[in-house]
Structure 1
Amino acid sequence: MNIAPQPIDYNTESPQPLLREIPESAAYPVHALGPLRSAVEAVQGMTLAPVAIPAQSALAMASLAVQAFANVETLGGPRPLSLYCLTIARSGERKSACDAPLLSALRDFEREKSGDYRTEAQAWENAFALWEGARDRILSEAKKAKGEKATAAQADLEALGPPPAAPTPPDRTVSEPTFEGLTRLYMRAAPSLSLFSDEGGQFLGSHAMNSDNRQKTLAAFNDLWQGNPIRRTRAGDGHITLFGRRLAVHLMVQPTVARAFMSDPLAADTGFLPRFLICEPASAIGTRMQANAKRDDTSLAAFSGRLRAILDRDMPMDPATRELEPRTLKLASEAHSLLAGFADAIEVAQAPRGDLAHITGAASKAAEQAARIAGVLTLWHDLDAAKVEAAEMADAIGLAQFYLSEASRLASAAIVSAEIDRAENLRGWLLESWPYPEVTARDVVQYGPNALRVTKDARAALGTLEKYGWLAPMEPGTVIRGAARKEAWAIVKAARDVV
């Protein structure tokens, strides 16, 4: 192609920057939080942050507190009460300030138990040294023994019994685990743990999520959400299987980090992303006037007191293996009917061209998410409850509907983002490489960026640039480069750079 460069006319009016338009989030249904509502509103009143941020923290914290005690009945069988939450908010939205008061009782619990653990660990080290010394003596004597003495040595070993059980570390939260590190912690620590981070990008960018480990890490987290055992096979360590472990997750991430993660096909295709309750509330920055701030220490104290009471309860588990032995939290008849109706409505919306056809991964899990949320709300109110009632299920369905609307909104925004990216690619090519002052769809298909060598994609990108003022439609029949064109655009170049 031999094209002589031609001058491009400058317009006096600057085109508009290409923007990734994301519709605003729906209002968070704070009324559906039931026993968590007052604490969430107290944190929001104190921080003036979007209410969805403390709501996510409260749900995740409640999930950690109760997930060891029961599984909840769902339409597909019993499932864990573990919730995975992802909160998207820019820097300055007071994510840490929302998290801290709801985590304070957990931090106090871990701090207090750390002192007890150090004392118990010292006592265990002494007891283990005595046990190990006795075992070594028996083995030493057994090597020299014959006949009856060898039989007696075997009996002595059996009488010695297993080594004393090591004390359980008090840690209930981790921030940047590898799968191996999390497995080792589950071998020693409580079987109910959490991954909470107000800088979730540190985890998403950690060693656990690099290209070599990402698929393994995602699969492991999927198994934990599902309640499946942890299985690890490594040279030197052999094969390890841990049953009855639970994990609650709350990651707070900035939008740029979230966009990159949500656009990763592996995160969606493995089912990892659809397991999250995702929200990106509208920013409150610029509206948080201190005259509107208010404190409700009573509600926060009640939340902390309830959390501490649950943390102090012994978990139902096998003392030898630390495998949890949760009971099944049943659904009352009306609660079951509500959940079934919700599931049916979601199923219809997933049909081709349905409202949820673009997020079938998240939609297919919506009913189970509702059951999990209902179970968390039920046990937070009464840890010994035998079943989920209709009121809790109705609230949980309202919350699940909100999170599903967020998943739909953000998935649609990702599609828009991809369209904008293609248009930006075309804009750069037109202004930097294309030598003519006008362009046709055929030009783009023949000579443009590789990603736009399909007519449909080229027309879409041209339409976007026209919308934002970077292209001006020309009259049909205009002669361009010696031929009349049915459709063509004049290229608009700003008199100054437009970012």
Structure 2
Amino acid sequence: MNAPKPIPFTPEGPQPLLREIVPSGAYPVVALGPLRAAVESVQGMTQAPVAIPAASALAVASLAVQGFANVETLGGPRPVSLYALTIARSGERKSACDAPLMAALRDHEREQSRAQREALQSWENAHALWTAERKRILSGGKGKGKDKQAATQADLAALGPEPQRPPLADRTVTEPTFEGLTRLFVEGQPSLALFSDEGGQFLGGHAMSSDNRQKTLAAFNDLWQGNPIRRTRSGDGHGTLYCKRLAIHLMVQPGVARAFMADPLAADTGFLPRFLICEPPSTIGTRMQASARRDDMALAGFSGRLRAILETPMPMEPETRELEPRTLQLSPDARVLLVQFSDATEAAQAPSGDLAHTTGAASKAAEQAARIAGVLTLWADLEAATVAEAEMMDAIELAHFYLNEASRLASAAVVSAEIDRAENLRRWLLESWPHPDVVASEVVQRGPNALRERPRAKAALAVLEAHGWLVPLEPGTAVRGKARKEAWYIVKAAGDVV
């Protein structure tokens, strides 16, 4: 048997285990079309990563136009509602990016709230009179039997239907429960948005608790798909909400995002793949005031366009307030581009393909492109009938960026899990394992529970070897009285050799 030879080492000793993440690609800001100028203005003022104001602009535009039209996709008409998840740590100026793009929306909500208070006062007076008259009709009346019944029915018909309460003016929520959101759809606007620059409050709130998470995810999936929301409550009975629309933009810190993305329910239900996800590289440390710039005309143009759309009545059935959106068709050239993009992403989902690890997001990429194209088209022209080739080309570039981000972050999650297992093995080897060397079978038989499968054990051993915590012994080296084809020496400190 061969005697063990000296172990090579680096003077600095074993290296910390690192979660290496492929850097994010450059955001295709040119593809934002009519939203580009405002996004670049906000980025110039804040010097934040451009992906942050870009996601805000797309989400705000989606809220503005989603009540007016659906868009043709390869799977049929779908809402133009967008769900976005932007990951950035504290100090990245998420709120500063959001505020100027939301300013016209906030002003509109305040104005509508004041108008609603006046309308509510009028309704309360009219409703009180209607209620009193109805009671008088039901308690009074002349005649007997059928004559009285006929007279009462005639008086009720003349009284007319109960005056409708004016709808609530709010268009946005920040931390809704499922019940609260559905109630707002009943009592308020048929087109809403969940916007939060502290999205962790929602992801960690009551709606996403263990008891409520599944129904919340299911409801949001239905809204994204354009399906009716069915609710059953004690007291209210059963009801169905048709043709409601919801846009979402959650800004969250990395730790919150990691936990959410690691939740099997969020992925398995298809909730997470419906999001346009990005985690742009930080600009902290480079945001010098001398380099700041702003374009007030661009922001004014964005705010003016947003206000004009918000003040345009949405197509809806007057009594039920159910939306009646038209379908925005794809031009022939736009359809060709979308088919090509869909086929390319489908091929990449094959077992050996680049997107095999993120089929959820990849399978929805073509629909995301169609939705983005619909938003860009309607923002430019609310009366547009078709999506043109140029808008589809831009939308595909944006959808491709977000798909790459989903792929990159999914790969990072896999790497993170492997690093975590390797760290558990490192601690076990240094703190619990009594020998100076180890073989894979010993890890499988006696190591941490998460490594009791040989592929995982081998992967963790490889990570520790790459970081200098293990050094391979020559094949045939005797370990515990047997010649081993593969074994490792455990390095515990700098300069450690056999």
Instruction: Please give the range of the TM-score, normalised by the shorter of the 2 chains.
Output: over 0.9
1:141/1:494 CA distance change after superposition, 3 Å: farther
Distance 1:381 1:473 in 2: 63
Partner of 1:129: 128
Partner of 1:417: 416
Partner of 1:436: 435
1:484/1:143 CA distance change after superposition, 3 Å: farther
Distance 1:486 1:356 in 2: 35
Partner of 1:62: 61
Query: Per-residue CA shift, 1:116-148, capped at 9, x if unaligned?
Result: 111111111111111111112222236995331
Partner of 2:157: 158
Distance 1:134 1:365 in 2: 55
Query: Matches of residues 152-301 of structure 1 in structure 2 within 5 Å?
Result: 152-301=151-300
Query: Matches of residues 297-446 of structure 1 in structure 2 within 5 Å?
Result: 297-446=296-445
1:76 corresponds to 2:93: no
Name which of structure 1's ranges 478-487 and 64-73 shifts more when overlaid on structure 2.
Answer: 478-487
Query: Per-residue CA shift, 1:432-452, capped at 9, x if unaligned?
Result: 211222211111111101111
Name which of structure 1's ranges 156-165 and 291-300 shifts more when overlaid on structure 2.
Answer: 156-165
Contact 2:224 2:246 in 1 (8 A): yes
Partner of 1:456: 455
Distance 1:465 1:487 in 2: 15
1:52 corresponds to 2:51: yes
Distance 2:334 2:66 in 1: 20
Contact 2:274 2:364 in 1 (8 A): yes
Query: Matches of residues 1-12 of structure 1 in structure 2 within 5 Å?
Result: none
Distance 1:268 1:133 in 2: 54
Give SS of 1:493's match: coil
Give SS of 1:442's match: helix
1:452/1:376 CA distance change after superposition, 3 Å: same
Contact 1:11 1:492 in 2 (8 A): no
Query: Per-residue CA shift, 1:34-56, capped at 9, x if unaligned?
Result: 00000000000000000000000
1:396 positional shift: 0.4
1:198 positional shift: 0.4
Partner of 1:119: 118
1:273 positional shift: 0.6
Distance 1:492 1:222 in 2: 50
Contact 1:11 1:494 in 2 (8 A): no
Give SS of 2:192's match: strand
1:427 positional shift: 1.3
Identity of aligned residues (%): 75
Distance 2:144 2:122 in 1: 33
Distance 1:145 1:261 in 2: 68
Distance 2:151 2:428 in 1: 87
Query: Per-residue CA shift, 1:150-200, capped at 9, x if unaligned?
Result: 221122222222211111211000001111100100001110000000011
Contact 2:13 2:493 in 1 (8 A): yes
Distance 1:15 1:144 in 2: 101
Name which of structure 1's ranges 84-93 and 129-138 shifts more when overlaid on structure 2.
Answer: 129-138
Which blocks of at least 5 consecutive residues in structure 1 are unaligned? 1-9
Partner of 1:91: 90
1:145/1:419 CA distance change after superposition, 3 Å: farther
Distance 2:490 2:479 in 1: 13
Distance 2:321 2:381 in 1: 24
1:464/1:134 CA distance change after superposition, 3 Å: same
Distance 1:14 1:105 in 2: 57
Distance 2:139 2:208 in 1: 47
1:412 positional shift: 0.8
Give SS of 1:151's match: helix
What is the identity, as a one-letter code, of the residue corresponding to 2:476? G
Contact 2:142 2:148 in 1 (8 A): no
1:142/1:409 CA distance change after superposition, 3 Å: farther
Name which of structure 1's ranges 183-192 and 126-135 shifts more when overlaid on structure 2.
Answer: 126-135
What is the identity, as a one-letter code, of the residue corresponding to 2:386? K
1:142/1:391 CA distance change after superposition, 3 Å: same
What is the identity, as a one-letter code, of the residue corresponding to 1:117? Q
Query: Matches of residues 30-45 of structure 1 in structure 2 within 5 Å?
Result: 30-45=29-44
- Aligned residue pairs total 486
Distance 1:213 1:161 in 2: 41
Contact 1:335 1:389 in 2 (8 A): yes
Query: Per-residue CA shift, 1:216-246, capped at 9, x if unaligned?
Result: 0000000000111111011221111111100
Distance 2:430 2:158 in 1: 85
Distance 2:449 2:83 in 1: 39
Distance 1:205 1:197 in 2: 13
Distance 1:365 1:159 in 2: 53
Give SS of 1:358's match: coil
Distance 1:142 1:474 in 2: 104
Query: Per-residue CA shift, 1:329-387, capped at 9, x if unaligned?
Result: 11111111111111111121122211112111111111111111001001101111111
Contact 1:11 1:493 in 2 (8 A): no
Distance 1:200 1:76 in 2: 31
1:494/1:189 CA distance change after superposition, 3 Å: farther
Name which of structure 1's ranges 285-294 and 152-161 shifts more when overlaid on structure 2.
Answer: 152-161
Give SS of 1:411's match: helix
Query: Matches of residues 468-479 of structure 1 in structure 2 within 5 Å?
Result: 468-479=467-478
RMSD of aligned alpha carbons: 1.6
Give SS of 1:93's match: coil
1:12 positional shift: 7.3
Contact 2:63 2:247 in 1 (8 A): yes
1:385/1:479 CA distance change after superposition, 3 Å: same
1:13 positional shift: 3.7
Query: Per-residue CA shift, 1:227-266, capped at 9, x if unaligned?
Result: 1111101122111111110000000011111111111111
Distance 1:132 1:271 in 2: 47
Distance 2:473 2:462 in 1: 13
